[in-house]
Structure 1
């Protein structure tokens, strides 16, 4: 386990897995790692903009800033919110650091010019002295953290974890009342349908076309994952239909195999 890693237990299925929180760059240049609690996690059933952030203090410069709250996907399909020590302490943001990381909202010292600045003639300048970062600026995604694949279940869990990393929420396995794929497992979330072939066989043209037809019926993005590979015919058809193809290696890292997959991996959901 990594130096800063912890064991997290899913309260739904009681499965334990190692988790290392991502490091974020403080404005002072030092990495900031959320102080997560060993074994503490709660199921995430609803996400709002207000609670998607957690305030963490940099141990190097003492500056507090808001960073994305740590989350982890369990193999049972539950999204886990990792408990951070500052959640319990209820520590307010440091003065001047109430916004997201890198945004300093401290008021100017007495006697300083107003934010818009003042021209030489005493009238307000049209050019601001600085341009603050908007609070709505997208937060860069941390690097994907793979989990070793030792079974078919691990391959499905990796695909679900990767979809969440791309930005798709509430990833779940298709239920018995939904259309089942010819083979493999089907995952669904808001805006996406994914076909996962965890067996050691090439995913066929029929598998790709069936997944695409189902995705089109629901007007969502179609993604296909394979533990082995795709047949040449399946690859050609996926390019025609703009279906993203990923191959999962044994380290747990999905590899983009076509242009649609490259674009999805780069831009996210």
Structure 2
């Protein structure tokens, strides 16, 4: 698997990043080709078109839309990793002629989830601005509905468990505190989800402590950060998977 060095432009921490591979409909594992030496760009604003790239399967030459490779630095910055264009040759193949047939135009990202995902495409998410804690919970509820959860409801009074939103097979929590979400909060949601035989999803306005991130990664709990536009940003692999597959 191709790996490239990545330096965070915020804290100058060095990383090594390899793009995740996803199965093409032909069955071959396919990953976006990374541009070695190109600087990573910090994500400060989400736009649907920027979150997808066109990738060519080396086995069948199919072009599809795949998630833009991103890396979450421990400093809290989300970094977008540059990729080579779908029609660009890999460095080792630069002199080899391309004998494949020209592809048709790729479909729009909003209409092509990951190839293994189900069927109904989602339109672009329409966020609501966050001006307070209640807005943050409402924005998270809108996003969960957009992901495909039905009848997302907010308890009239917040229970001691901290659960802010529920749906069939779902419990979710929204942390509106100014400090990063703690390990304890992540573990409590995970345990509540286990007890309810449901999927747990966490939203935070201030990000997550490093140990909270590590625990969520270990148990497969999706973590999202909410910005003030009301657009949730996935910050771990489980969240990326949830965005790709939907409910």
TM-score under structure 2 length normalisation: 0.50
Q: Would the aligned equivalents of 1:186 and 1:196 in 2 still touch at CA under 8 Å?
A: yes
Partner residue of 1:209 out of 174, 187, 192: 187
Q: Which has the larger radius of gyration?
A: 1
**Cα distance in 2 between the residues matched to 1:228 and 1:165:** 22
C-alpha distance in structure 2 between counterparts of 1:264 and 1:232, whole Å: 21
Matches within 5 A, 1:202-241: 202-241=180-219
CA RMSD of aligned residues (A): 1.7
Does residue 153 (structure 1) correspond to residue 153 (structure 2)? The answer is no
- CA shift, 1:173, in A, is 1.8
Mapping 1:43-122, distance limit 5 Å:
none
The structure with higher relative contact order (CA 8 Å, sep 6+) is 2
Partners of 1:251 and 1:186 in 2: CA distance: 20
Q: Give the secondary structure class of the aligned counterpart of 2:150.
A: coil
Report how many aligned residue pairs link the two structures: 130
For 2:155 and 2:219, the matched residues in 1 are separated by: 22
Cα shift readout 1:39-70 (whole Å, capped 9, x = no counterpart): xxxxxxxxxxxxxxxxxxxxxxxxxxxxxxxx
Q: 1:254 aligns with which of 214, 232, 235?
A: 232
Unaligned stretches of 5+ residues in structure 1: 1-136
Aligned to 1:189: 167
Measured against aligned partners, the alpha-carbon deviations of 1:107-154 in whole angstroms (never above 9, x if no partner) come to xxxxxxxxxxxxxxxxxxxxxxxxxxxxxx832110100111111111
Hey, what does 1:198 align to over in structure 2?
A: 176
Runs of 4+ in 1 over 2 A off after TM superposition: 178-182
- Aligned partners of 2:161 and 2:192 also within 8 Å: no
Distance 1:256 1:234 in 2: 15
- For the residue of structure 2 that corresponds to 1:195, the secondary structure is strand
Instruction: Give the distance between the partners of 2:178 and 2:199, measured in 1 at CA.
Output: 25
CA apart distance, 1:174: 3.4
Task: Provide Cα deviations, 1:214-236, integer angstroms capped at 9, x if missing partner.
Answer: 10001111110001111001000
Question: Per-residue displacement from partner, 1:16-49 (whole Å, max 9, x unpaired)?
Answer: xxxxxxxxxxxxxxxxxxxxxxxxxxxxxxxxxx
1:174 pairs with 2:152: no
Whether the aligned pair in 2 keeps the contact of 1:197 and 1:203 (CA below 8 Å) is yes
Considering fraction of residues, name the structure with more strand: 1
For 2:240 and 2:156, locate their aligned partners in 1 and report how far apart those are by CA, in whole Å: 29
What runs of 5+ residues in structure 2 fail to find an aligned partner?
A: 1-117
Q: Tell me, what secondary structure is at the counterpart of 1:246?
A: strand
Say whether residues 1:139 and 2:120 are aligned partners: yes
Question: Structure 1-normalised TM-score?
Answer: 0.46
Deviation (angstroms), 1:175:
5.2
Shift in Å, 1:199: 2.2
